[in-house]
Protein backbone atom coordinates (compact mmCIF):
# COMPACT_ATOMS: atom_id res chain seq x y z
CA UNK A 1 0.00 0.00 0.00
CA UNK A 2 1.28 3.43 -0.85
CA UNK A 3 0.91 6.55 1.28
CA UNK A 4 -2.20 7.78 -0.53
CA UNK A 5 -3.97 4.47 -0.03
CA UNK A 6 -3.04 4.49 3.65
CA UNK A 7 -4.39 8.03 4.02
CA UNK A 8 -7.60 7.09 2.24
CA UNK A 9 -8.03 4.01 4.44
CA UNK A 10 -7.39 6.05 7.60
CA UNK A 11 -9.96 8.66 6.51
CA UNK A 12 -12.56 5.96 5.91
CA UNK A 13 -11.94 4.41 9.32
CA UNK A 14 -12.14 7.81 11.01
CA UNK A 15 -15.40 8.52 9.21
CA UNK A 16 -16.86 5.18 10.34
CA UNK A 17 -15.86 5.79 13.98
CA UNK A 18 -17.17 9.36 13.86
CA UNK A 19 -20.49 8.24 12.37
CA UNK A 20 -20.86 5.56 15.05
CA UNK A 21 -20.18 8.08 17.82
CA UNK A 22 -22.64 10.57 16.32
CA UNK A 23 -25.27 7.84 16.03
CA UNK A 24 -24.82 6.85 19.67
CA UNK A 25 -25.01 10.49 20.72
CA UNK A 26 -28.22 11.04 18.73
CA UNK A 27 -29.75 7.89 20.23
CA UNK A 28 -28.99 9.19 23.72
CA UNK A 29 -30.45 12.59 22.84
CA UNK A 30 -33.58 10.92 21.45
CA UNK A 31 -34.02 8.78 24.55
CA UNK A 32 -33.61 11.73 26.91
CA UNK A 33 -35.95 13.96 24.91
CA UNK A 34 -38.62 11.24 24.89
CA UNK A 35 -38.37 10.99 28.69
CA UNK A 36 -38.73 14.77 29.01
CA UNK A 37 -41.76 14.76 26.71
CA UNK A 38 -43.49 12.20 28.93
CA UNK A 39 -42.87 14.43 31.95
CA UNK A 40 -44.05 17.49 30.04
CA UNK A 41 -47.25 15.76 28.91
CA UNK A 42 -47.96 14.72 32.49
CA UNK A 43 -47.43 18.26 33.75
CA UNK A 44 -49.59 19.69 30.99
CA UNK A 45 -52.43 17.35 31.93
CA UNK A 46 -52.07 18.22 35.61
CA UNK A 47 -52.13 21.97 34.99
CA UNK A 48 -54.99 21.65 32.50
CA UNK A 49 -57.02 19.87 35.16
CA UNK A 50 -56.21 22.61 37.67
CA UNK A 51 -57.17 25.31 35.15
CA UNK A 52 -60.42 23.54 34.29
CA UNK A 53 -61.40 23.26 37.96
CA UNK A 54 -60.76 26.97 38.42
CA UNK A 55 -62.84 27.76 35.33
CA UNK A 56 -65.72 25.63 36.63
CA UNK A 57 -65.60 27.30 40.03
CA UNK A 58 -65.51 30.79 38.53
CA UNK A 59 -68.35 29.94 36.16
CA UNK A 60 -70.47 28.66 39.03
CA UNK A 61 -69.50 31.82 40.91
CA UNK A 62 -70.99 34.01 38.22
CA UNK A 63 -68.32 34.75 35.61
CA UNK A 64 -69.62 34.38 32.09
CA UNK A 65 -68.09 32.18 29.42
CA UNK A 66 -67.09 35.33 27.53
CA UNK A 67 -65.30 36.74 30.57
CA UNK A 68 -63.56 33.43 31.23
CA UNK A 69 -62.58 33.20 27.58
CA UNK A 70 -61.02 36.66 27.76
CA UNK A 71 -59.10 35.73 30.90
CA UNK A 72 -57.81 32.41 29.57
CA UNK A 73 -57.54 32.94 25.84
CA UNK A 74 -59.97 30.06 25.28
CA UNK A 75 -63.02 30.30 23.06
CA UNK A 76 -66.47 30.63 24.57
CA UNK A 77 -67.30 27.22 23.12
CA UNK A 78 -64.30 25.65 24.86
CA UNK A 79 -65.35 27.23 28.16
CA UNK A 80 -68.79 25.68 27.75
CA UNK A 81 -67.21 22.25 27.09
CA UNK A 82 -65.14 22.59 30.24
CA UNK A 83 -68.03 23.61 32.50
CA UNK A 84 -70.42 20.91 31.29
pLDDT of residue 47: 97
Please indicate, yes or no, whether the overall pTM of this predicted structure exceeds 0.75. no
Segment 3-32, tens digit of pLDDT: 888 888 888 888 888 888 898 999 999 999
Domain extent listing, the chain: 3-83
The whole-angstrom separation of Cα 72 and Cα 27 is 38
The whole-angstrom separation of Cα 15 and Cα 21 is 10
Amino acid sequence: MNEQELLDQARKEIAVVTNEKERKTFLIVLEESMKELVVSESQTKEFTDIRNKAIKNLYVGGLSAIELGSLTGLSRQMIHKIVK
